[in-house]
Chains A and B, each alone.
Chain A
Amino acid sequence: MRSGVLVRVPHALREYTNGQDEVLLEALDVASLLRSLDATFPGIRDRVVDETGQPRRYVNVFVNEDLVRGDFEAARLHPGDVVHILPSVAGG
């Protein structure tokens, strides 16, 4: 098993990750994972949460296959987890 958490980066945010579609990080919860991600790729966290820390309305974060609802601090992570950042079904 991997020692870290694998983040799958959506296409729209790969301009922040120099084109990387996956990033491996160490984090205990989704909130700290996003901060770590932002430390490596400045600005990317702002695309997932707004300045109040709330998830953007049309962005979904999954841990493995479970949608994280509400509090990112409470969404615990474990080595080997895969975090998916995905745009929700929206637009028009």
Chain B
Amino acid sequence: MSPLSYLLQRGTAMLMVPLIITHLTLIIWAVQDGLSAEEILSRTRGSIIWAGFYGLFVFAAAIHAGIGVQTILREWTPLGRLATANVGHVFILTLWLLGARAIYAVVWA
């Protein structure tokens, strides 16, 4: 793992701590009056704040998980440096695209 990968993984972990706490608090608060698609969408639709919040969350999670997967593959499989880096990058891109699509769906679609 390079110093940059290390910095990115630890940095995104630190960034996600308040995001996860906020996300879990929001879930607990949101289900108090029942949980429905309308209720969720009424809060998220057109909200730049929630788009920004979950955009940052998805970005951080994708990088954190991608670097982690790369490390695990390097340690537990015979794959070399280049192969694990490629899988890690594809994983980051896939997670980020899936997350971005979900955000688009609840904010703008």
Q: Does B bind A?
A: no
B contact residues vs A (CB 8 Å cutoff): none
